[in-house]
Amino acid sequence: MDFMKLTELMGDLEEEAVLEMMNEVMADGGSQVSEAMRACQEGMNIVGDRFEAQEYFVSDLIFAGSLMSEAMDIIRPALLKKSEGNYGKMILCTVEGDLHDIGKNIVKSMLEASGFTVIDLGIDVKPEAILQTAKDEGIKIIALSGVLTLAINAMKKTVKAFKDSDIADDVKIIIGGAPVSAEVAQIVGADAWAINPNDTIKICKAWASA
């Protein structure tokens, strides 16, 4: 499989050819599904670069979003490693001001397949709403997603809301998404950070088992 070609086709928003390649990836049961996901994500970076260069417009971003979702739907069954465990409930959402949810939805599917019951609060979620749900449902693990640079500030606000609350000692918060790094995690005050959904699963499982 030529993954550079897949990245290129994704960047060019060639829907038919992209979906054909995704189906090819699944032909052997999906042994190269992680490589395919990475290639698609790199294609989204090309879309982003062209948007910044004003070669693409918001309508292209919208189309890219639905193409990425369609592509992920094809490989999703192979992406999910079923686990027998039951790790309880956790919250996942995209933070306030950010409407991007494709990455969040991938992380959600993978967490669910790993044995978590994910309460998905959706996109553009205010800190108060996350805190209230955590209190109402007795949640101890919160995963925050963000793709925009401004999501960093919203994550910081969310972590602060928890730190200032009476459940501060009971809750662990992990942040993830494109702008997240060790440095960002420190600024935000999160307990952990990840870009790779598999790392997220490992961290959340360790927290749930503690």
Structural contact between residues 64 and 13, judged by C-beta atoms closer than 8 angstroms: yes
Does the protein bind ligand B12 through residue 7 (CB under 6 A)?
no
Q: What residues have CB less than 8 Å from 68, skipping those under 6 apart?
A: 10, 40, 44, 102
> Considering the complex, what minimum distance in angstroms separates the CB of residue 131 from ligand B12?
17
Q: Which of 9, 22, 47, 74 binds ligand B12 (CB under 6 A)?
A: 47
Q: Using alpha carbons, list the distances in angstroms from residue 12 to 15, 71, 193.
A: 9, 14, 31
Does the protein bind ligand B12 through residue 149 (CB under 6 A)?
yes
Structural contact between residues 147 and 98, judged by C-beta atoms closer than 8 angstroms: yes
| Site size toward ligand B12, by CB under 6 A | 36
Window contacting ligand B12 (CB under 6 A); options: 22-30, 134-142, 156-164, 171-179: 171-179
Window contacting ligand B12 (CB under 6 A); options: 3-11, 14-22, 112-120, 176-184: 176-184
Q: Where in 49-108 is the site for ligand B12 (CB under 6 A)?
A: 51-52, 58, 61-62, 64-65, 68, 97-104, 106-107
> Considering the complex, what minimum distance in angstroms separates the CB of residue 5 from ligand B12?
18
- Alpha-carbon distance 190 to 177, whole Å? 13
Q: Which of 21, 174, 185, 190 binds ligand B12 (CB under 6 A)?
A: 174
Q: Which phi and psi angles does 172 have, rounded to 5°?
A: -115, 140
Nearer to ligand B12, 102 or 130 (CB): 102
> Where on the chain is the footprint of ligand B12 (CB under 6 A)?
41, 44-45, 47-48, 51-52, 58, 61-62, 64-65, 68, 97-104, 106-107, 143, 145, 147-149, 174, 176-178, 194-195, 197, 200
